[in-house]
Amino acid sequence: MAPEVQTHVHRTGLYRREVLHVGFLGALGITLDAVPPARAGSPAARSVILVWMPGGPPQMQLWDLKPDSPAECRGSARPIPTTAPGIEFGHWLPRTARQAHHLALLRSLTLDAENDNHNIGHHKLLSAVNATPPGSGDYASRVDWPSMSAVAGTFRPSEVGLPSAVHLPLPMLDGGKPDPGQNAGWMGSRHDPWQIQGDPNRPDFRVPDLTPLPGYTVERLDNRRRLLAEVDRHRRDLDRDLGTRQLGDVQRRAFEVATGSATRHAFDLAREPASLRDGYGRHTFGQSLLLARRLVEAGVRFVQVNRGAMNTWDLHQEEDRRLEALMPPFDQGFSALLEDLQQRGLLRETLVLCLSEMGRNPRLGAPTSDGTPGIPDGRNHWQWCWTALFAGAGVRGGTVVGASDAWSAYPEGDAYRPADVGATVYAALGIDPRSEARDPEGQPRVVNQGLPIASLFHGR
């Protein structure tokens, strides 16, 4: 069922003529002719970079340290000072600690639900909803709530001939099937973000292929005739809504975007100095973040960088050993991104987020309520309280919003939920969170029911 329509909302959603106009271009996930932007005021952010940490890193080891808690809670984390007075990070983050004056830490993010982990958590956080939509399941479908990237790219489309929203360097897959929260859901495939599958750290990396739609194989873009022939054979299977009509001109425009000079330029990491590439780290994550910076600099509205595959941060066992492998690339790449954006003057207009779908249990080795056993050197899932990071676009760096209890287990005072994160992102982009979009049946739906977290920003 569609959410309640707010009577004061201006209806700037998708209409039949707009859907027809988008056509095949949108079916490939490149939204150049989206709905007019729904503005909530002067936007603080021109673009968004979301760093997604799938699986849920341990908040008490990284950025919500509890040094006075028992060893079973605090683990091996050693507090280190940061450039933000009064804020300490775990020793795993020496470089990010030097950028903490740019960061606001939201320490009381919660799902307020037991066992809404991984797939459900992905959906809730990435789509900014507090409840799983009816009919939605563990895998992506067209009844899912649209991702923040899809909403942002729809209401604030790119103005420079580039995709409006891009995910990289790999999708979140569970058993080969995509998780919910990565596409446009009921808004239709014409508004899906452009999913990049490729390693920007490889010397042969180039403008990537368009990701295949489910059940459909797309040939490489440098062979347009084969691609068009494949589309003609399979277009009835591409999308069963209005977006599959009026091919022809929009096909041509889609390929112009995918093969045009602006796109080639934005994806060409060879244009960056070797020293800067080294600074980000010559690994997939570091070069993906550098590519994200290039994309927002070129005019892409929303870039999501996934730090690892599905469940990468799911530290049920060997927490310290896993952190020793995971943290150095993260610390190097994330700190370099903040520093690079600041030096280029881009941080003031780019909202940077670091999110995960959950945190970790405050007790090492504790079992879960559903009977999942605990392993002494690991932590099970925890949906009650964890930390999100914000920077740029007017964010009050060097601050903490919200608080957790003595074990980083539950919020103390104000708690914030996924819809509030989404409302914050939309408001920063100048999008009214209560804006409406229309589903393929023409029904209006309010895209977000949260409240912007005003205390994250200056002057609030």
In a domain, 401, yes or no: yes
* CA nearest neighbour of 180 among 227, 234, 221, 121: 121
Amino acid at 449: Q
Both tokens of residue 444? 């209006």
Write the CB contacts of 118 (distance below 8 Å, at least 6 apart in sequence). Answer: 55, 174, 179, 310, 311, 314, 357, 358, 381
DSSP, res 14: -
Amino acid at 367: P
Both tokens of residue 234? 């399979």
Q: Out of 200-209, 329-338, 450-459, pick the least confident.
A: 200-209
The pLDDT assigned to 441 comes to 86
pLDDT digits (tens, 9 = 90+) for 125-172: 999 999 999 999 999 999 999 999 999 999 999 988 889 999 999 999
CATH of the domain at 29: 3.40.720.10
The CA-based dihedral angle spanning residues 27, 198, 357, 457, taken in that order and rounded to the nearest 10 degrees: -80
Q: How far is the CA of 327 from the CAs of 59, 88, 171, 334, 386, in angstroms?
A: 13, 16, 21, 10, 18
Q: What is the mean pLDDT of the chain?
A: 84
Arithmetic mean of pLDDT, 396-400: 98
The pLDDT assigned to 26 comes to 35
* CA nearest neighbour of 41 among 354, 353, 293, 394: 394
* CA nearest neighbour of 192 among 373, 27, 432, 357: 27
In a domain, 140, yes or no: yes
In a domain, 21, yes or no: yes
Q: What angle do CA 168, 174, 177 make, to 5 degrees?
A: 80
Number of domains composing the chain: 1
In a domain, 2, yes or no: no
**What's this model's pTM, rounded to 2 decimal places?**
0.84
* CA nearest neighbour of 351 among 390, 387, 389: 390
The residues pairing with 165 across neighbouring beta strands, listed in sequence order, are 302
Higher pLDDT, 214 or 288: 288
* Distance separating alpha carbons of residues 155 and 429, to the nearest angstrom: 9
Q: Out of 59-68, 341-350, 418-427, 440-449, pick the least confident.
A: 440-449
In a domain, 96, yes or no: yes
Q: Is the dihedral of CA 52, 57, 60, 62 positive or negative?
A: negative
Domain residues for the domain of 179 are: 16-456
In a domain, 7, yes or no: no
* Distance separating alpha carbons of residues 156 and 71, to the nearest angstrom: 47
The pLDDT assigned to 30 comes to 32
Are 277 and 269 a contacting pair, CB within 8 Å?
yes
In a domain, 182, yes or no: yes
Residue 227 in this model has a pLDDT that exceeds 50 = yes
Q: How far is the CA of 311 from the CAs of 52, 319, 362, in angstroms?
A: 11, 13, 19
In a domain, 80, yes or no: yes
